[in-house]
Amino acid sequence: MFSFCKMQATGNDFIIIDYLENKLEYSYKLLAEFLCDRHFGVGADGLITVEKSSISDFKMRIFNKDGSEAEMCGNGIRCLAKYVYEKKLINKNEFTIETLAGIKTIKLEVEGESVIKIEIDMGIPIFDIDKVPVTYLENNYDGYMYIDGIKVYPLSIGNPHAVCFVDDLDKIDIEKYGKLIEDYKYFPNKTNVEFVQIVDKLNIKVRIWERGVGETLSCGTGACAAAVISKKNKSTNNGLNVDLLGGKLKIIYDDTIKLIGPAEFVFDGTIEI
């Protein structure tokens, strides 16, 4: 039997396990598959472990519900930031977390003892197709490609993304095209997929198809990817509000990407395996 914490950030939910003191003797993959199952486990989009780091204040590992490990998760790292502060594992409002996508700097907005907003420096977006990675070999590649007639912009926010613009999110078959693009031959590590509707210069709507998960209510790195490509295409200005099914996030993209949004505790629990 071990303890866990259930958290969510704009509807993207996670199981947090504290590995700082106790190392559980379970396969991460199998643990994620079991705990994230919404019928036989706790239920979540992903499993996050908080661990010791030799180069940062903490180390985060994030596993999708299919057991695959992701490089980074913008909503997940906000949950973890709130967790370590409110569980009194750290008493600083600014600190760092090591991820597979590098070290991320966290800034907390705190009222009393509660974290009400978290800012993550997500770093610099990657457009080099060899580093996303993408295996598209057409000579006329100009930052985008076509998959089954859909114009797709690949990039990495520490993990791979494919941004697609649509006129009306309500009319797109998310499951059909999400699955198609996630598993498409151009993406050797698969990809997350964002379907984006431009509202105006300061607002976009986004629906998310997450690699290894399916459609989710939100994705922090996905919101960043959508905002970056929207600004890069001069469709939007900076300080963009991203409206997702699970809530709203703010993205500021200058030299680096800043992801700003909340995170919430759902419940603490114990489970026997």
pLDDT tens-digit readout, 178-198:
999 999 999 999 999 999 999
Tell me what the mean pLDDT of segment 20-34 comes to: 88
Question: What's the pLDDT at 199?
Answer: 98
Task: Give the position of tokens 């984006």.
Answer: 196
Question: What's the pLDDT at 26?
Answer: 85
Average pLDDT, the chain: 96
Give dist(CA 252, CA 125) in Å, integer. 12
DSSP 20-42: SS----S-HHHHHHHHH-TTTS-
Is there a shared CATH topology between the 2-123+260-271 domain and the 145-254 domain?
yes
List Cα–Cα distances, 156 to 6, 146, 209, 219, in angstroms. 28, 18, 15, 14
Question: What's the pLDDT at 69?
Answer: 97
Mention every residue, 6+ apart, whose C-beta is less than 8 A from residue 31: 24, 47, 63, 273
Give the best-scoring range by mean pLDDT among 18-22, 26-30, 43-47: 43-47
Domain range annotation of the chain? 2-123+260-271, 145-254
User: Does residue 24 surpass a pLDDT of 80?
Assistant: no
- Name the active-site residue from 5, 36, 73, 79: 73
- Name the active-site residue from 5, 36, 164, 219: 219
Give dist(CA 139, CA 182) in Å, integer. 23
Architecture of the 145-254 domain:
Roll (3.10)
User: Does residue 35 surpass a pLDDT of 90?
Assistant: yes
With beta carbons less than 8 A apart as the criterion, state whether 207 and 174 touch: yes
User: Does residue 23 surpass a pLDDT of 90?
Assistant: no
| 219 given a catalytic annotation | yes
CATH topology of domain 2-123+260-271: Diaminopimelate Epimerase; Chain A, domain 1 (3.10.310)
| 79 given a catalytic annotation | no
Mention every residue, 6+ apart, whose C-beta is less than 8 A from residue 213: 45, 46, 64, 65, 66
Give dist(CA 204, CA 73) in Å, integer. 20
